[in-house]
Amino acid sequence: MGTLSYIKNFIKDRQVASITPTSRFTIGRVCEHINFEKDIRIVEFGPADGVFTKVFLKKLSPGSEIIAIETNRNFAEALRDLRDDRLTVVNKSAEQVREIVQSKNWEKADYIISGIPFSFLKKDVKNRILKESADLLTEEGRFLGYQTSSHLKPYLAEYFPSVDTEMEYLNIPPMCIYIAGRQQITK
């Protein structure tokens, strides 16, 4: 898995939106905004073959959980091969996040990590996913997105009182990281 798998899947499925996995530098930066010291619940949108997921599983406590929502069937199968009891893989769209979280009997999530290509989505779909995300997060919860452009900020600001961005240049292409929450962002 890795770049070759991204290219193969990108040729057949343009929603994959990238021919190379996110860099370890971007992953490290996103992880700086996650408190791995306690039991947490993460929803991951668009994990592909698990470049972030594998890092999360290494860092997460035994009582933590991840729901990974991935539309591409090949990637979803690769994720299932990770075989970790803390990980639930769902081969559906982030648009269905509410029903997916409810089916796991989670009331709320602590973090939503998103790599889906929001710029490809229609405005109403984008807004629906962001609204559902804001509703599903705990009071201190964080929406952590990474995109190759900074277009998402005004959309996030509709649903999250606090939105911050960081750039990671050690990524091809450079990545904009979004940190959004109900409460003021302090690292």
Ligand X SMILES: C[S@@+](CC[C@H](N)C(=O)[O-])C[C@H]1O[C@@H](n2cnc3c(N)ncnc32)[C@H](O)[C@@H]1O
Binding site for ligand X (CB under 6 A): 15-18, 21-22, 45-48, 51-52, 69-72, 75, 93-95, 115-117
As measured in angstroms, the least distance from the Cβ of 35 to ligand X is 21
Measured from the Cβ of residue 8, the count of other Cβ atoms closer than 10 Å reads 13
Separation CA 78–CA 50 (nearest Å)? 8
Q: What is the dihedral of CA 65, 69, 172, 120, to 10 degrees?
A: -150
CB-count exposure of residue 31 (10 Å: 0-12, 13-18, 19+): middle
What residues form DSSP beta bridges with 43?
A: 67, 112
**Two structure tokens written together for 128:** 């629906």
The nearer residue to ligand X, 59 or 183, going by C-beta atoms, is 59
As measured in angstroms, the least distance from the Cβ of 20 to ligand X is 7
The nearer residue to ligand X, 38 or 58, going by C-beta atoms, is 58
The nearer residue to ligand X, 3 or 35, going by C-beta atoms, is 3
The nearer residue to ligand X, 117 or 153, going by C-beta atoms, is 117
Give residue number: closest CB to ligand X: 46
As measured in angstroms, the least distance from the Cβ of 48 to ligand X is 3
Q: What backbone torsions phi and psi does residue 7 show, to the nearest 5 degrees?
A: -65, -45
As measured in angstroms, the least distance from the Cβ of 63 to ligand X is 24
